[in-house]
Structure 1
Amino acid sequence: MSDHARDDDTAARDNPAATHDTAARHHAADEGRPSGAALAGIRVVDLTQVMAGPFCTMILADLGADVIKVENPGGGDQTRHSWGETDDGRDSTAFFALNRNKRSVLLDLKTERGLADLHRMVATADVVVHNWRPGVAERLGADHATLSALNPRLVYAAISGFGTTGPYADRPGYDLIAQGMAGAMSVTGEPDGRPVKNGLPVGDLGAGMLLVSGILAALLHRERTGEGQRVETSLFEAVLAMSVWESTEYWATGAPPRPLGSANRMSAPYQALRTADGYLTIGANNQRLWQRLCAALELGELVDDPRFVTNMDRMRHRDELAALLEERLAADTTERWVDALLAAGVPAGPIQDYAQVLDHDPQVAARELVREVDHPVAGRVKVLAPPLRLSASPAAIRRHPPLIGEHTDEVLAELAGPAARRRGRNGEEAP
């Protein structure tokens, strides 16, 4: 690294927002390594940014891995400066949502010094994760061949838009584009409406979750064989992998599936329906539940109606059935109908907005699904709790989302110590 680049790095580390009492930082580092966590002792070098990759590495961090987030001195992860940024330029709430439990290190990988620091880090790591476009890792000297030569036990994991082979390999990867090209937008929305993307970024988050599964499988393989390997997935493949009903329908009928609004492809009634003051969802997806629904709504005559006798009949006449059910549901409120349907043994629930879910839902409160962490700049920050429950080695929130470069000195000091000696093929420290 040139002197100029090193000065930039040092200046970023000395930023007042990133300066903390040394003892306090080392105490926090000790707290960040719980011996009882499922992935305690696993070190992850996180080269990702934005959403898919950070979501993957956050799950690993929640499970106890020591995740070191490598950021560039030019501003770090793009989401630090995206939606939700405060007026005084502090990190955005979007960054907070995806980066708890991690340590942040500033490295300029385009310099010799920065790349050398990365290589030292990789020599002590168990996993490396990146979401660069194909070819970037090779240009930087952070590709699988280079890093696995430094550490044969390394699990090298990558997310891209479309994978590293095929005619789309070089295309930029965005959730919206993946949803469109993999078919999801063709079946989302109301019939005869414009294409609509899923309200949640299923390509990004799906790819992140799939990569977690691949990493854990590769770590298990390494325990048996001593060998690392390369793991990859893509946004495109994640969206397509979720199309289990849609692909089945196409292969069975020969016709491309079309949007059904909130309705289900395999059963009816199984959809959102209007009430006097809003909407509810009903899941009467078998004959017994259909009969219970008709009894609860006092619509017993529908049970023997030739249009609705079997599930296939109800699917063929889905629109007529929905109109009749909504006519009855208009007589009362969502809350009253949900209570009545549940009492009758019919699966049902209200459609809630996020204010209702996050601030008022009793299940969210009972399961403690919203947590707060103390952030050194932003104060108390709300985050979603880890969704995994492990009885013996629970996931936990141990660290605030890091300030940019907050742990650079700490991590580089660790690499200089005896614990940084590269592990051999069978896990022993090299002499």
Structure 2
Amino acid sequence: MESSGPLSGLTVVELGHSVAAPFGGQTLAILGARVIKVENPINGDDARSWGPPFWEGASACFQSLNREKLSITVDFKDSEQLEDLKRLIDTEADIVVQNQRPGLLQRFGLDGESLRSSKPGLIYCNIGAFGAEGPLRSKPGYDPLMQAFSGIMSITGEEGREPVRVGPSIIDIAAGMWSCIGLLAALHERNQTGIGCEVDTSLYETALAWMTVPSAMHLASGTVPARTGSEVGMLAPYKVYRAADDYLVIAAGNDNLFGRLCDVLGVPEWKTDNRFASNPERVNNRKVLNDSIQGIIERESRDDWIRRLDEGGVPNTPLQSFDQVVEHPQTKALGMLQESPDGEMTLMGVPLSFNGTRPGYTQNPPQLGEHTRSVLKQDTD
């Protein structure tokens, strides 16, 4: 199938598994690149079996990360199959993206240095675990390990309770996103110079990047960031509150919005209260402020407060479960959830539109090795 989209004409070979590289590869595929996923012939990508739930022959997790791709199987220990793969990369690939365990690809001459020695225009992206340098560079890693090691878990949840991870695999997903950013920058450079490069990112570096603001707050103040529940340490009021029947979030992110909130809550005197007159004072007195707001909010229903806050121009939102998210008119209006061509699956699209049009769902995730013969041009006899 011919691809369309801003990256059409590019060929990407994905030596990926689990989440990070597959998400990056899928993003490039949705944007129009021809993405060839290379899997081992025994079980394929580990994520194929990450369930239940299973959906149309593979785990829902795998299906959500691998649409718009071709799948080929290659046994790296089979010299003929290995040479077929290297020939494919040498003759057709613009990009290789990989997140295999450290050292594996070097054993088979599939690392960036080896492949780029015969094809200097190749752009090769490594998504490592702990990074390319340092004492942990050879150690494997997964999303929850990085949330723990980077300090993300130390600021997530509530003080006095057990550490928790952020629900979605934000490290894996963001590492895939950073790989795309790096690859697109390298493509721009190649368009100017004709020379590719080797791009490196990792789960740990990605996790550290998520800590950009907390790290600055720590280095500026010397204070170790703590868990603040649904709050943001540098702003108040900016958190979840419990109405009479359900939860909502109020985000009064500046003095003007706080003044509007005071009017909605019926406490205009707070605007001139020295404890709350500016954000630094509100942050320093957040407990008494939050307790006071909670005492008012809990008297009425969530929908009533949302109506009043909307009328008063105060940013707010209900806390939704995902079934509510799926059914919300805003979600439907955006068209982020996209139905497969055969109507059997609905998967999340990319949060991008081009000239008002979001890239569509045109090809289901592949069966294991579905395109091996056609891609490697093997004899079908």
TM-score, normalised relative to structure 1:
0.85
- Which of 317, 322, 325 is the aligned partner of 1:354? 322
If asked which structure has higher relative contact order (CA below 8 Å, sep 6+), I would say 1
Which letter does structure 2 place at the counterpart of 1:368?
Answer: G
Supply the distance in 1 between the matched residues of 2:88 and 2:357 (Cα, whole angstroms).
26
Secondary structure of 1:255's counterpart equals: coil
Supply the distance in 2 between the matched residues of 1:304 and 1:164 (Cα, whole angstroms).
54
Aligned CA RMSD, in angstroms, stands at 1.7
Report deviation, 1:193. 2.2
Supply the distance in 2 between the matched residues of 1:335 and 1:66 (Cα, whole angstroms).
47
The C-alpha deviation readout for 1:287-337, integer Å capped at 9, x for no partner, is 110010010111223223332122111111112111111111112221221
Report deviation, 1:392. 8.0
Is residue 2:123 matched to residue 1:155? yes
5+ long unaligned stretches in structure 2:
none
Supply the distance in 2 between the matched residues of 1:310 and 1:145 (Cα, whole angstroms).
55
Asked if 2 retains the 8 angstrom alpha-carbon contact of 1:45 and 1:70, the reply is yes
- Which of 266, 278, 281 is the aligned partner of 1:298? 266
- Which of 114, 129, 132 is the aligned partner of 1:146? 114
Asked if 2 retains the 8 angstrom alpha-carbon contact of 1:63 and 1:394, the reply is no
- Which of 202, 208, 220 is the aligned partner of 2:170? 202
- Which residue of 2 is the match for residue 380 of structure 1? 344
Report deviation, 1:63. 0.4
- Which residue of 2 is the match for residue 106 of structure 1? 73
Alignment of 1:1-400 (within 5 A): 29-30=1-2, 33-34=3-4, 37-86=5-54, 90-123=57-90, 124-358=92-326, 360-374=327-341, 380-391=344-355, 395-400=359-364
Is residue 2:373 matched to residue 1:409? yes
- Which residue of 2 is the match for residue 421 of structure 1? none
Alpha-carbon distance change, 288 to 142 in structure 1, aligned in 2, over 3 angstroms: same
Report deviation, 1:374. 3.9
Alpha-carbon distance change, 184 to 65 in structure 1, aligned in 2, over 3 angstroms: same
Asked if 2 retains the 8 angstrom alpha-carbon contact of 1:63 and 1:396, the reply is no
Asked if 2 retains the 8 angstrom alpha-carbon contact of 1:115 and 1:141, the reply is no
Alpha-carbon distance change, 263 to 393 in structure 1, aligned in 2, over 3 angstroms: closer
Aligned-pair identity in percent equals 38
Alpha-carbon distance change, 109 to 272 in structure 1, aligned in 2, over 3 angstroms: same
5+ long unaligned stretches in structure 1:
1-28, 417-431
- Which residue of 2 is the match for residue 14 of structure 1? none
Secondary structure of 1:303's counterpart equals: helix
Asked if 2 retains the 8 angstrom alpha-carbon contact of 1:38 and 1:394, the reply is no
Secondary structure of 1:57's counterpart equals: helix
